[in-house]
Amino acid sequence: MKPKFTVNPVLIPVFIAAVFTAASYFAWFLRMPTYAETNTELIKSVAAANFKTAEFEVNGVVCLGTSKTFAKWLNELSGILSINTFTSDRFVEIGYDDSKVSADEMIISIEREVSADGEKLKPFSVMRYRASKDSEWVILRTNKKVEVDEL
Amino acid sequence: MQAIRFIFQLFFIELILYHAVLFSLGESYKNCESYCPFGAVETFALFAQSGKFPCAVNELNYSIFAGVLLLTVFFKRAFCSWICPLGAVNELITRVRSYFIKYKPLAENIMKTLYSVKYILLAVILIATYRNYDLVFRPYCPYFTAFGLHGHTTVVLSYFILANALLATLFIKMGFCRTLCPFGAFLNVFNMKTVFKIYRDEGACVKCKLCDGACLAEIKVSESAKIENAGCTMCLSCVSACARNGALKVGL
């Protein structure tokens, strides 16, 4: 049986290369938060000058479950307005009212120790952060293999 | 063409190992599972339900999965023979074993029974992942065990399963890929009617059956006018082995 249209088999590797380049670009372009929450009521009541967005690279934010725990702990602080976690690169964006809470207070809350079955666990470690989009990055740790305990 | 395919297989193995090493050195958060399209298959129902990426799956898994689906629609399961690192390891075992002792095809009814194992595995994995809201089979995944460089969920049983998966290939040609791989089972759904397939020109064919011997999926190429068999992975071994140039062609 003869095909209606013949193609050079070289088309296969070319197609693979094109599709996978496109897929990598697409993943970067469509960066979606794993977990997102926004307190719109609270945002309305905050003065624009006090609204800041901090960015953290947090080792331990690996999935939806850990993102939810992370958000729960952070929400214990007052002044947290929004939380977006990106597990693919362990990034977290936190909208906050800087008259009520500071980046240092957030780090203390994030890096807390918890007890489970008599063992002390530290599930999250902040690698670096910046208190707002226009401030400098503060590097706390560099090795991404830094030990964190699984929840 | 086979040389280009081996270069592609080697490239993807190196890419995965490079990221696994970076991950184990603490230089990167991405490891072998960050590039696994099967993660997207496992969690698709959960993603569709909640609109959120479940477990440790993210946009990279889903975009690679979309790329693999597109590739399959056009060129059958080319992912298995051109990209999959575990497929490459299986092919290596198959070729080494064939070099020393030729495979004898098993009886058709036995093979049919064995083929169904991967579909059962796929169903069990999908149901268990959905019910537990977690990648519950990750510790037992041969790909994660082989290329995760002793990842955090790897246990003794993981190595036992990997060893058995590779042992299957010693007894059956491409044994793991053809009888156990759940991702292969999933791709088979799209593999029957693809845009391009291999055609055999009966006028040019001399029935030397070299293509049958070369086929990694043990498809009887010399008896088909066009290869619509779900097992075909477009490795083009048959095209390369063909004694009559032009008797086997990739076409529409």
pLDDT computed for residue B235 by the predictor: 93
pLDDT over 70 for what percent of chain B?
100
Separation between Cα atoms, residue B183 and residue A46, nearest integer Å: 50
CB-CB neighbors (< 8 A) of B16 in chain A: none
- Give mean pLDDT, residues B18-28: 84
Q: According to the model, what pLDDT value does residue A65 have?
A: 84
Query: What φ, ψ does residue A69 adopt, rounded to 5°?
Result: -65, -45
CATH code of the region A35-136: 3.30.70.100
Identity of the residue numbered B161: I
Which tokens go with B187? 């791709």
Question: What pLDDT is attached to residue A140?
Answer: 87
Token duo for residue A22: 């496109």
Q: B57 to chain A, minimum CA–CA distance in Å?
A: 7
Q: Residue A82's pLDDT is what?
A: 93
The shares of helix, strand and coil residues in chain A, as percent rounded to the nearest 5, are 30, 30, 40
At residue B91, the pLDDT reads 93
- Choose the closest CB to B52 out of A10, A35, A143: A35
Residue A26: pLDDT band by 50, 70, 90 thresholds? confident
Length reported for chain A: 151
Q: What is the CA radius of gyration of chain A?
A: 21
Position A148 scores a pLDDT of: 59
Contacts of B8 in chain A (CB under 8 A): 13, 16
Where does the pLDDT of residue B73 fall: very low under 50, low under 70, confident under 90, or very high at 90 and above? very high
CB contact under 8 A, B54 and A26: no
Q: Is the pLDDT of residue A117 over 80?
A: no
List pLDDT tens digits, range B129-178.
999 888 888 888 899 888 888 777 778 898 999 999 899 899 999 999 99
Instruction: Please report how the helices B85-100 and B156-171 are oriented relative to each other, as an axis angle in degrees rounded to 10.
Output: 50
Question: Which two tokens mark B118?
Answer: 């991967």
Residues B145-159: tens digit of each pLDDT: 888 887 777 788 989
SS3 letters across chain B: CHHHHHHHHHHHHHHHHHHHHHHHHCCCCCCHHHHCCHHHHHHHHHHHHHCCCCCCCCHHHHHHHHHHHHHHHHHCCHHHHHHCHHHHHHHHHHHHHHHHCCCCCCCHHHHHHHHHHHHHHHHHHHHHHHHHCCCCCHHHCHHHHHHCCCCCCCCHHHHHHHHHHHHHHHHCCCHHHHHHCHHHHHHHHHHCCCCCEEEECCCCCCCCCHHHHHCCCCCCHHHCCECCCCCCCCCCHHHHHCCCCCCEEEEC
Half-sphere exposure (Cβ direction) of B229: Cα atoms closer than 13 Å: 20
Among chain A, residues having any CB pair with chain B shorter than 8 Å are 1-13, 15-16, 19-20, 22-24, 26-27, 30-32, 34-35, 62-65, 87-90, 143-146, 150
Contact check, Cβ <8 Å, B59/A30? yes
Q: What's this model's pTM, rounded to 2 decimal places?
A: 0.84
What is the least distance, in Å, from the CA of A17 to any CA of chain B? 9
The answer to whether the CB atoms of B52 and A34 lie below 8 A apart is yes
CB atoms B252 and A19 under 8 Å: no
pLDDT at A147 over 60: no
CATH 3.30.70.20 matches B197-251: yes
Q: Where are the domains of chain A?
A: 35-136
Please give the structure tokens belonging to residue B138.
Answer: 């990750």
Which pLDDT value is given to residue A95? 93
**Mean pLDDT calculated for residue range A10-34:** 88
Task: Show Cβ contacts of residue B5 under 8 Å, excluding neighbours closer than 6 positions.
Answer: A13, B81, B82, B235, B236
Contact assignment for B251 to A7 by CB distance below 8 Å: yes
d(CA B52, CA B46): 8
How much is the pLDDT for B106? 85
**Min distance B111 CA to chain A CA atoms (Å):** 28
CA distance A98 to A133: 13
Q: Look at B29-38, B85-94, B233-242 and tell me which has the smallest mean pLDDT.
A: B29-38
- Residues of chain A with C-beta less than 8 angstroms from the C-beta of B78: 12, 16
Q: Which chain B residues are closer than 8 Å to A2 by Cβ?
A: 199, 201, 249, 251
- Taking only the tens place, the pLDDT of each residue in B197-209 is 899 988 888 889 8
- Residue B242 pLDDT > 70: yes
Retrieve residue B147's tokens.
């290329």
pLDDT band at A150 (very low <50, low <70, confident <90, very high): low
Query: What are the C-alpha distances in Å from A10 to residues A6, A7, B47, B75, B236?
Result: 12, 8, 36, 12, 11
Asked whether the beta carbons of residue B200 and residue A1 sit closer than 8 angstroms, the reply is yes
Helix axes B59-75, B38-50, angle to 10 degrees: 120
The 10 Å CB-count burial string (b at 16+, else e) for B166-186 is: bebbeebbbbbbbbbbbbbbb
Q: Are the beta carbons of B251 and A4 separated by less than 8 Å?
A: yes
**What single-letter amino acid sits at B15?**
L
Q: How far apart are CA B53 and CA B40, in angstroms?
A: 9
Task: Quote the mean pLDDT of chain B.
Answer: 89
Q: Token pair of A2, please?
A: 């003869």
Q: What ipTM was estimated for this complex?
A: 0.85
**Gap between the Cα atoms of A58 and A60, Å rounded:** 6
* Among B8, B60, B201, beta carbon nearest to A27: B60
pLDDT digits (tens, 9 = 90+) for B100-125: 998 888 888 898 899 999 999 999 99
Sign of dihedral through CA atoms B54, B56, B59, B63?
Answer: negative
